[in-house]
């Protein structure tokens, strides 16, 4: 069996970043036979290593409304397989997001990432003792890791880590 070892990004354990987390296991279905267990394990591995965002559908949500940045990035990770690392204070913020028609997973991820970069998300900034409102920067590291940062933090990370690319 061939194992591909991937190196963790240099910022993987950075305490200023919060990682997105996949949803917990589905408890509605408990595999009982050996064949069901094999199929379930195959499904989990396929979802982890070969995600297919086109197999997801997100219903229309109406007009834009405030949505949790970290919560929706968790959904984006589940649908597309990209690990997002979000600046700690930004993760607790919100962004106006919504779509009038049903979208497949790839369309939804693109729309949400676009909202983060254009709809001026808002988050609490403890140093300022107030809210901060500005567009975020998405920096890509490899194929399946994306940093979600404020502009000033993005510049610092770009200087420190040369493998980051803006989209």
Which pLDDT score, from 0 to 100, does residue 27 have? 55
pLDDT tens, position by position, 3-47: 455 577 888 899 999 999 877 665 556 777 888 877 777 777 777
Q: What is the mean pLDDT of residues 137-152?
A: 95
Q: Which residue has the tokens 């607790």?
A: 92
Q: Please say whether the beta carbons of 163 and 100 come within 8 A.
A: no
Q: Please say whether the beta carbons of 114 and 98 come within 8 A.
A: no
- Label the pairing between strands 122-125 and 103-104: unpaired
- The CB-side HSE value for 149 (13 A sphere, CA atoms) comes to 19
- Label the pairing between strands 122-125 and 137-141: unpaired
Which pLDDT score, from 0 to 100, does residue 22 have? 77
pTM value is 0.82
């Amino acid at each position: 069996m061939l194992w591909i070892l991937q190196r963790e990004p240099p910022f993987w354990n950075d305490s200023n970043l919060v990682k997105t987390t996949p949803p917990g296991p589905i408890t509605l279905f408990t595999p009982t036979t050996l064949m069901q267990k094999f199929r379930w394990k195959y499904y989990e591995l396929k979802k982890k290593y070969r995600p297919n965002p086109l197999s997801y559908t997100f219903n229309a949500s109406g007009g834009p409304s405030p949505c949790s940045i970290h919560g929706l990035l968790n959904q984006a990770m589940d649908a597309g397989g990209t690990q997002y690392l979000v600046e700690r204070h930004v993760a607790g913020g919100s962004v106006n997001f919504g779509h009038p028609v049903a979208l497949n997973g790839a369309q939804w991820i693109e729309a949400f990432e676009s909202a983060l970069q254009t709809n001026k998300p808002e988050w609490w900034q403890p140093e300022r003792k107030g809210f901060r409102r500005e567009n975020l920067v998405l920096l890509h590291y490899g194929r399946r890791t994306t940093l979600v940062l404020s502009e000033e933090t993005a510049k610092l990370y770009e200087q420190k880590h040369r493998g980051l690319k803006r989209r």
